[in-house]
């Protein structure tokens, strides 16, 4: 009940924060808003960019259909990002098997901090961090070595983190290698099984991230 209350309070505060800071704008936010408008208007030449990752703009698009104000739509997308971040952090807290009270305290702290972060600037960092935490949490045990579905799901969520911000690509590579090593050294998982499971994570990543990588590479004429 306390965990449900944390999510409920966070959602209420995130909505209120989005309204209070609805006039706040930063240069990056302007770019993501512009790209969202390109998607809404079908301007294909402008909406595909190797500089700005697409997921935050995709989140802004449906809110543009709700609000006449693009800036309010962007802050609404940041409110959603705060909820994603809280979900990802909760998954990590649970995956590392903290005591129940610690999970509750950590969830409440994250709920308030994520709301504060969502109101500072319009940026995909909050969204990327939440998705990255969620994907990583699925790898914080040896279950993914034996369960192909867990490995595939982890890769797909990490692929979504890449769509939020491209830095998730090298970070995902590093975390997969590190946690694969931990599985062999700490959990005494079979090296052969770990090596076999790792490509499943990569496959999940490419299912989500691959099409965007392909589109960018086609647009710029070289691998991007």
97 DSSP assignment: T
Q: What span, in angstroms and rounded, lies between the C-alpha atoms of 141 and 150?
A: 11
Residue 74 has pLDDT above 80, yes or no: yes
Q: Return the pLDDT at 211.
A: 97
The tokens describing 36, both together, are 């969202």
For range 171-183, the mean pLDDT: 88
Predicted local confidence at residue 140, as pLDDT: 86
If you average pLDDT over every residue of the chain, what do you get?
92
More confident residue, 65 or 142: 65
pTM, rounded to two decimals: 0.92
Distance CA 34, CA 28 (A): 10
State the pLDDT confidence band at 189, using cuts at 50, 70 and 90: low
pLDDT at 188: 66
The two most distant CA atoms of the chain are separated, in Å, by 56
Angle between helices 100-118 and 70-95 (to 10 degrees): 160
pLDDT of res. 117: 93
Residue 11 has pLDDT above 70, yes or no: yes
- The per-residue pLDDT for 181 is 83
Question: pLDDT-derived band of residue 12, with 50, 70 and 90 as boundaries?
Answer: very high
What share of residues in the chain are helix, strand, coil (percent, to 5)? 80, 0, 20
Instruction: Between 139 and 161, name the one with better pLDDT.
Output: 161
């Amino acid at each position: 009940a306390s965990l449900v209350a944390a999510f409920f309070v966070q959602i209420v505060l995130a909505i209120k924060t989005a309204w209070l800071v609805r006039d706040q704008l930063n240069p990056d936010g302007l770019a993501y808003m512009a790209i969202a408008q390109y998607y809404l208007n079908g301007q294909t030449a402008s909406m595909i960019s190797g500089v700005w990752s697409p997921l935050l703009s995709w989140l802004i698009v449906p809110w543009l259909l709700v609000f006449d104000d693009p800036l309010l739509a962007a802050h609404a997308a940041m409110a959603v990002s705060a909820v994603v971040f809280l979900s990802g952090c909760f998954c990590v807290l649970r995956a590392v098997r903290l005591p129940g009270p610690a999970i509750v305290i950590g969830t409440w702290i994250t709920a308030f901090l994520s709301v504060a972060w969502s109101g500072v600037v319009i940026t995909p960092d909050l969204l990327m961090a939440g998705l990255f935490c969620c994907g990583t949490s699925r790898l914080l045990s040896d279950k993914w070595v034996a369960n192909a579905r867990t490995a595939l799901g982890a890769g797909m969520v990490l692929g979504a983190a890449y769509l939020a911000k491209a830095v998730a690509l090298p970070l995902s590579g590093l975390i997969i290698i590190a946690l694969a090593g931990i599985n062999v050294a700490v959990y005494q998982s079979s090296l052969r099984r770990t090596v076999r499971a790792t490509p499943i994570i990569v496959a999940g990543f490419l299912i989500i991230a691959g099409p965007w990588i392909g589109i960018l590479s086609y647009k710029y004429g070289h691998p991007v």
